[in-house]
Amino acid sequence: MIGIIMGSISDLKVMQEAVDVCNEFGVPYEIDIVSAHRTPLKMIEYAQSARERGIDVIIAGAGGAAHLPGMVASVTTLPVIGVPVKSSNSIDGWDSVLSILQMPGGVPVATVALNGAKNAGILAIQILGVANKEIADKLQDYKISLETKVAEMSQQAREGLPPA
């Protein structure tokens, strides 16, 4: 199962893409609002109890100072994927990217692109696919579908057709 958390309901618009990936691959998930700054005790409890609740990977989205992914990673042994969210109080998203990316040695957080919740979802699925052949097979089909889409676009471009 994948845990999808974010610092504010305003992040849900971005984080929905991780939810969509879980649904596409049929992987169970839980979703919650967990703020590193406004609910620090809830954040610690969430991260420390995640494994016991069946969570295998945590995706944490945060904007602004974006402490949520790193703070969660500091109190769990589960893999954490950080999604920097371009928020209303953001410095064009760079503050969020750098806050998640620049973790100190010993506390890694996998970091995806700004608003990159879709890739966070896919990365979480890939992590689960290491030990789950059914998920790995679905990932293989997904990669083939990407290749097929590019081949179709290539054909359209050569024929001068508008995109479908």
Convert the pLDDT of each residue in 96-118 to its tens digit. 999 999 999 999 999 999 999 99
- Report pLDDT digits (tens) over 7-29: 999 999 999 999 999 999 999 99
- Helix axis angle, 133-159 relative to 117-129, nearest 10°? 130
Both 63 and 108 in a single domain? yes
Both 34 and 110 in a single domain? yes
In sequence order, what are the residues at sequence separation of 6 or more whose Cβ sits closer than 8 angstroms to the Cβ of residue 32?
A: 3, 4, 5, 46
Mean pLDDT of the chain: 95
Tell me the backbone φ, ψ of residue 125, rounded to 5 degrees.
Answer: -65, -40
**Annotated binding residues for substrate, as ranges?**
8, 11, 38
Q: Write out the residue range of the structural domain in which residue 154 sits.
A: 133-164
**Annotated binding residues, as ranges?**
8, 11, 38
Q: One-letter amino acid identity for 53?
A: R
Domain count, the chain: 2
Both 83 and 143 in a single domain? no
Q: Is the dihedral of CA 115, 3, 79, 88 positive or negative?
A: positive
In a 13 Å sphere around the CA of 108, the CA atoms on its Cβ side amount to 5
- Please tell me whether the overall predicted TM-score, pTM, comes out greater than 0.75 for this model: yes
Both 127 and 150 in a single domain? no
- 34 and 135 Cβ atoms separated by less than 8 Å: no
